[in-house]
Every structure is written in C-alpha cells, then in structure tokens.
Structure 1
C-alpha cells in the first residue's frame, strides 16, 4: 500500500473540509482549482491548514472518517496542536452539565 494523508482545508466561508489522499500536493491543487470536491468548489478559495501523514492510505481514510465526525471546536484544537484538550471536547454537551 502507498502512503496516505489526512488533510483539513479552510474554505472561503470559514468552514473546514476534511479529506484523505495518496498525493497531498496534487489533491490540494485540485481543490484550489475547483476540481477537488463539490463542497470546496463552491467555497473557493481554499487553503491547506493541517495534515497528517500515514504509512498506508487506508489508515488516512480511517482517520478522515473519524475527524469528519468531530465538532468544529475539536477540529480547531487539533489544528492548533492543543492535543490535551481533545478528550474533553469529545464529551457530549449534556455530560458537561
């Protein structure tokens, strides 16, 4: 298997797009040109703000699906390397009351 990457883009409307790919540079250029995904094509320009490298593409794909389910606050903590905050951001709002 080939290497894989999880990546997060920030879109023009300040939303995040999370994806995975075998070729990070090529995929980011596709997004920037409007050929990447419908979501990002409608929210140009986009900018790469975070990525993780994996030994195998299936690991990156699994991580993509995990991060896609996260809240914006949790993604922001990951992007800003506030890793120690991730567990507390995983708790549901009713758990915090």
Structure 2
C-alpha cells in the first residue's frame, strides 16, 4: 500500500519541485556577464569570436562580449596576466 501511495505522490512532488526551481533558473538566465575578449589581428583564423558574437551565441549564453583587437600576443598575455582581460584568443607559433 505504501509503495502505491508513493507512486501517486511522485508526480505531485515533481511538480512542486519544478515550481520551486523554475524561478531560480529564469532569474539566472536574465543576468548578463560582460567581458572582454582580445584577439591579435583581422585574420580568418580569428573569425570564430566574430561569428559567435554576430550570430548571437554569446548573448544566448548571457554574455556581453566586447571584442578588442590588440596588435600582438605579448600585449594580450600582459593584459591576461594583469587581469584587464579574462579571455584572449591566441595561437602558438608554427616553428
């Protein structure tokens, strides 16, 4: 009898749990995080960030990304280590 009662209560418990969790998820989706992404040059290999921004992929994830061109990897790494840019888009040398 108790197993039957628990099976009947399960949908109600799921519904109540959803009602408590759903407002938290909706609130989390509304917050927007701003950040800077540094890239070295206007080259095709660095286009992924531009595509993601223009297609709205960043905003779909709650990110307001500012793309900043910085001429050289030395400056990008310095900005990353200094804390002024949390993300850089860099590559390794071919040599």
TM-score (norm 1): 0.31
Bigger fraction of residues in strand: 1
Bigger fraction of residues in helix: 2
Give the number of the structure whose alpha-carbon radius of gyration is greater.
2
